[in-house]
Structure 1
Amino acid sequence: MVISVRESGVAAPRSLEPDLISGLQRYALRHRDLTLTSVFQPIFSLSHLRAVGYEALLRAHDIFDRPVPPLDVFGDAARQSELHYVDRLAQSLHLENFKTLHAEREWLFLNIHAGALADSYHEAALRAHLERLELSPRRIVLELQAVRAEDFDKLADEARRFREQGFLIALDDFGAGDSNLERIWQLDPDIVKVDRMMLSQAAHRTQAAAILPGFVAMLHEAGKLVLIEGVETEHEAQLAFSCDADFVQGFHFGRPGPGAADSAYAAERIAALAECHRAQTQARERARASRLAPYVRAFERAAERLAQGEPLDEVCWNFLALDHAARCFLLDEEGRQKGRNVVLRADRAGHEARFLPVADAQGANWMRRPYFHAAIEAPDRVHATRPYLSINEALPCVTLSVAVRIGAGLCVLCGDIDWQEDATGL
């Protein structure tokens, strides 16, 4: 049975209709010539290996049972000055149908138009609906999209008021359109949903793939949980897993449907991602160790000769003769560089000329660098950094470092290696 709605508001559904495809029972509402109902796309925690929430999505069919895109439904509603009304219809449907999922602890993600937050009638209807269904506001995540800059302060104020009532706030489609970091500080969401476009770029561009983990880490540093949406392929799923996203959403894990998620299927896929990530990490570490081995051996010999009193510009030649060795330099116990960089190849000096203002590093202080801290804290061995951007040439490099006792003082010998990733990321 399809339930009608009053033009003055949303009638609380009292009956269920069977879904002929799924066999499940769910609520539907009729609005003008459309029949509206809900489907739910599961949101999975990569750590918990299960669904932790569902995003409610509107589905509409015309009188001939042809699907009507939700954007067309809301677009027509806006033209008819019924946007908030249709938003309440969708809200009513989603809450009723979510209750039929018998979800005991999962969140319900509700998309809500920015203007609806300031609508007192809309707020009252939402709270009344939750009370009738015995759903706590803490189970509801309100998904907000970026709005015009001049309207954002008002949106942030309304979001703050709803959060004080117990609702969670998610910033949707971050990384698309007008979204920027200022929106994070203004809105202060609990969850940031990273737009699919960022994931798609990472899947096809090595530079974007390298940036994505740092982007997620930055959001974590800001105190936000990160959900990557639009995960459709295995490769995209591996990227989301590797960048330490908290939650994922997309066809690879589960399609929108009227019922609860297939937990066993999702757990199997996430477990497979974890195993693939473990194997890839181990292979990458083995390849990295193998690639570094000749540099480490030459660097160890240079450190031994330096400790025996030989000058820096004579002990580094075997290291610098290796194909991708860039430079050697020496730091004192405070991290200050003693003398200039030692460079072997003539073409290296020419390339560094583009960065002439930073070419002379004598007296520079590198105390902030991980290679300095590692050498000072564990002076008994050679340390190798993760790849990072060298200030000398704005190119990726790995730095070897080792603490060396020279007379009565402790110094840190450093050697840079150009580190362009190959096609496999090793």
Structure 2
Amino acid sequence: MITVQQERTAVAPPGFDLSVTSGLQRYSAQHGGLTLTSVFQPVFSLSHMRAIGYEGLLRAHDSLDRPVSPLDVFGDAARVGDLLLVDRLAQGLHLENFRLLGAEREWLFLNVHPGTLIEPYHAAALLANLKRLGLPPRRVVLEVLEDPAVDLDQLAQALVSFRERGFLIALDDFGAGHVDVGLVWHLNPDIVKLDRIMLLHSAHRADMAATLPALVALLHDAGKLVLIEGVETEHEAQLALACNADFVQGFFFGRPHPGVTDAPHAQAVIAEATERYREQTEAHERRTASRLAPYIRAFERAAERLAAGEALEEVCWNFLGLDQAARCFLLDSNGRQMGRNVVLRVDRAQNDARFLPLDDAQGANWLRRPYFRAALGVPGHVHATAPYLSINEALPCVTLSMAVQIGERLCVLCGDIDWLSDEPS
């Protein structure tokens, strides 16, 4: 049961109390012997360097003013069949308190149980609350968490209806259990919130740190904005910047609070993190350029000799003699490989017998590879790819390429470099 206990002589919506905490007005409600109220965690745009929204979070205290975990509140409600009731109560509190924030343009990120969205009565109550508060649906981001008990097709259909009314949809806690990209296609959210667990993995595993930017790029290609939540440390902030996330949320940038964020402080935190990211990026680029320099010099010399009419097998030895040089090969103007790979060490082509079917690349077509297209775009100039996974041994690789005129033919000389680390060896 929800009870009302008026603490101030002010008009409060039915079921809510209006009180003052730390000089801020906010609503609270009584439920099951607990006092429930709202705090708001800011969501920041790294590019805009300011809060662009606030996520409403439930806070609960017992009769002795001891904090009670929101997970316990919702868990107890689920056990007695009141989950959707408490979910709707939390939504109402967040909406009322968001209006008191005085935020004029920012979004309200509102956690909504999927059952609320597909249940007509609860959905109608949410729309009625918004109308009463004069809050247009475009100001609300509905955060949805997958629930095995809710029919996914029914939920997707309900989300289409809410989006048509102007709401934005966010898929919450993506990657918390497993990364189900199919869920993104099915529910078609506007924003995907990557769970903090992905940051934790990326902070301790190089392969995950490399995968996170690719995942963000995949979501961007699908037309989704990406929010990384749970950013708590400087290192995690740098990971969020490096993977090109759109939005961030977490203690490093701003803690949950009953009121709006301190805008100048938040801007300073983001500016400092961005400046450190710039410094680290430029340092990384200098290391990469220094590491590539001897390979590029040897590769340019090989291209000169090739253009002068020497055989491919004769011109590549200085390049292949460098520690991490893997192979040279030559492509025609259509991207087809002319001859076999040229390697220095006899065992190089067979260093992993599992990939032996890929050893003979003569006649292979590399038309789709960026290094081929880049070389043809600016003949006579050495191009270096970003690190990518080589098909030869499924290892990180950087490819140098240059379009070279050999007699009447325009060909593309290519050289692969093993790239197991971003630091010089």
* TM-score, normalization by structure 1: 0.95
Q: Of 6, 17, 40, which residue of structure 1 is paired with 2:19? A: 17
Checking the alignment, whether the CA contact within 8 Å between 2:350 and 2:356 is kept in structure 1 is no
Equivalent residue, structure 1, for 2:338: 338
- 1:121 Cα deviation after fit: 2.1
Distance 1:265 1:313 in 2: 61
- The aligned amino acid for 1:129 is N
- Partner secondary structure for residue 27 of structure 1: strand
Query: Structure 1, residues 276-301: CA drift from partner, whole Å, max 9, x if none?
Result: 12111211111111111111111111
Unaligned runs of 5+ in 1: none
Equivalent residue, structure 2, for 1:397: 397
Equivalent residue, structure 2, for 1:418: 418
How many residues are aligned here?
A: 418
Distance 2:308 2:92 in 1: 80
Equivalent residue, structure 2, for 1:296: 296
Identity of aligned residues (%): 67
**Matches of residues 17-36 of structure 1 in structure 2 within 5 Å?**
17-19=19-21, 22-36=22-36
Checking the alignment, whether the CA contact within 8 Å between 2:302 and 2:316 is kept in structure 1 is yes
**Matches of residues 233-272 of structure 1 in structure 2 within 5 Å?**
233-272=233-272
Checking the alignment, whether the CA contact within 8 Å between 1:337 and 1:363 is kept in structure 2 is yes
> Residues 246, 165 of structure 1: CA spacing in aligned structure 2 closer, same or farther, 3 A cutoff?
same
More displaced 10-residue stretch of structure 1: 356-365 or 143-152: 143-152
Distance 2:18 2:108 in 1: 20
Distance 1:88 1:195 in 2: 24
- The aligned amino acid for 1:299 is F
**Matches of residues 165-184 of structure 1 in structure 2 within 5 Å?**
165-177=165-177, 180-184=180-184
Equivalent residue, structure 2, for 1:106: 106
Distance 2:210 2:342 in 1: 30
- Partner secondary structure for residue 347 of structure 2: helix
Checking the alignment, whether the CA contact within 8 Å between 2:47 and 2:246 is kept in structure 1 is yes
Equivalent residue, structure 1, for 2:69: 69
- 1:404 Cα deviation after fit: 1.1
- The aligned amino acid for 2:140 is I
Distance 1:412 1:149 in 2: 56
Checking the alignment, whether the CA contact within 8 Å between 2:333 and 2:411 is kept in structure 1 is yes
CA RMSD of aligned residues (A): 1.8
- The aligned amino acid for 2:293 is A
Distance 2:16 2:230 in 1: 34
Query: Structure 1, residues 322-366: CA drift from partner, whole Å, max 9, x if none?
Result: 111111111111110000000111331330543111100000001
Checking the alignment, whether the CA contact within 8 Å between 1:3 and 1:28 is kept in structure 2 is no
Query: Structure 1, residues 208-255: CA drift from partner, whole Å, max 9, x if none?
Result: 000000100000000001000000001000100111101000000011
> Residues 294, 49 of structure 1: CA spacing in aligned structure 2 closer, same or farther, 3 A cutoff?
same
> Residues 3, 272 of structure 1: CA spacing in aligned structure 2 closer, same or farther, 3 A cutoff?
farther
Equivalent residue, structure 2, for 1:354: 354
Checking the alignment, whether the CA contact within 8 Å between 1:118 and 1:158 is kept in structure 2 is yes
Distance 2:303 2:405 in 1: 9
Equivalent residue, structure 2, for 1:203: 203
Checking the alignment, whether the CA contact within 8 Å between 1:40 and 1:57 is kept in structure 2 is yes
- 1:16 Cα deviation after fit: 2.1
* TM-score, normalization by structure 2: 0.95
